[in-house]
Amino acid sequence: MSIASVGRLYVVATPIGNLGDLSPRARDTLSTCELIAAEDTRHTGAMLKHFGIVTPLLSLHDHNEAERASRLVERLRRGASIALVSDAGTPAISDPGFDLVRTAAAAGIEVLAIPGPCAATAALSIAAQPTDRFCFEGFMPAKRAARLARLKPLAQEQRTLVFYESPHRVADMLRDCAAVFGATRAATVAREITKLHETTYRGSLGGLAELASAGGDLARGEIVLVVAGAPDAATGAGTGDGAAEDGHGGELDRVLLLLLAELPLKQAAAFAAKILNVRDNEAYKRALRLKS
């Protein structure tokens, strides 16, 4: 089979809210390809209708991608050009598409990016957090124990952290981030990016957790959470101003917040003092301050 007879797979970024963000190149690609593999054909169909695009759709989501990827690659090998889209943003970034891209690349199919919107980079660009180095962690587990297990290894990560979160879990996510990273760690919540009710909240993890728990607008819509990296241990440069006087700083706060979520104040302080080998009265005073 000659190279000229093989189709191409186009990974097409689509708007995360405002339809005006669909690029002219993306519109041309979606209009001229033979098939669009879409996460939700109804959602993508509505977007295509808005732009007058009539290209056929095929569903490709988490539950059928493994099975359909090989079939789509066969179509590509026979010369079809296929566009891959997700419901919003860039495919395969916490969205379906990775299996298809990997299978197509392994088969020697040319895979081309049609770049555009991505919620992670959009939020990072307005978060007012360092952007020279960052790591994208996507969605955390829904269950708290699993979520804490994923967060704890990131406690000393000095790069800016970017997370996706659903509105009904954002309060719990912020609470757990405050417990693991320290309540004074700086963070930004970007909700409904590019949509009508787009709002950006900046503050400490503790303050944002309280705001989300209060039941306001912060816990509504699509959420991207951007968290400042851990302070540099060598320089002492950090992100908070409420460190304990014993020299353990944010580590005592993190341990206390974890324990206070499960235990009475006095017991939590006693356990924290033993874990970190600090004086009981210092741990107790810090626990009182955090609790208040």
The CATH number of the domain where 7 resides is what? 3.40.1010.10
Which residues are CB-contacts of 114 (< 8 A; sequence separation ≥ 6)?
10, 11, 12, 13, 23, 25, 26, 29, 83
pLDDT over 60 (residue 3):
no
Pull the structure tokens for residue 24.
């002219």
- pLDDT score at 1: 43
Which position has the higher pLDDT, 11 or 259? 11
State the average pLDDT over residues 234-262: 58
Residues 287 and 194 in one domain: no
**Per-residue confidence band for 244, with pLDDT thresholds at 50, 70 and 90:** very low
pLDDT tens profile 216-236 = 788 889 999 999 999 875 444
Residues 68 and 174 in one domain: no
pLDDT over 50 (residue 28):
yes
Residues 107 and 126 in one domain: no
Is there a domain that residue 239 lies in? no
Is there a domain that residue 268 lies in? yes
pLDDT over 50 (residue 173):
yes
Residues 107 and 183 in one domain: no
Is there a domain that residue 98 lies in? yes
Is there a domain that residue 167 lies in? yes
d(CA 271, CA 275): 6
Amino acid at 3: I
Average confidence score pLDDT of the chain: 90
Pull the structure tokens for residue 152.
């704890």
- pLDDT score at 260: 82
Is there a domain that residue 157 lies in? yes
- pLDDT score at 283: 87
- pLDDT score at 241: 38
State the average pLDDT over residues 168-195: 95
Domain region containing 274: 250-291
Q: Checking phi first, is residue 96 left (phi over 0); if not, alpha (psi -120 to 50) or beta? A: beta
Is there a domain that residue 45 lies in? yes
Which residues are CB-contacts of 24 (< 8 A; sequence separation ≥ 6)?
none
pLDDT over 60 (residue 64):
yes
Residues 176 and 191 in one domain: yes
pLDDT tens profile 261-276 = 778 888 888 888 877 7
- On whether the pTM is more than 0.75, the answer is yes
Residues 134 and 214 in one domain: yes
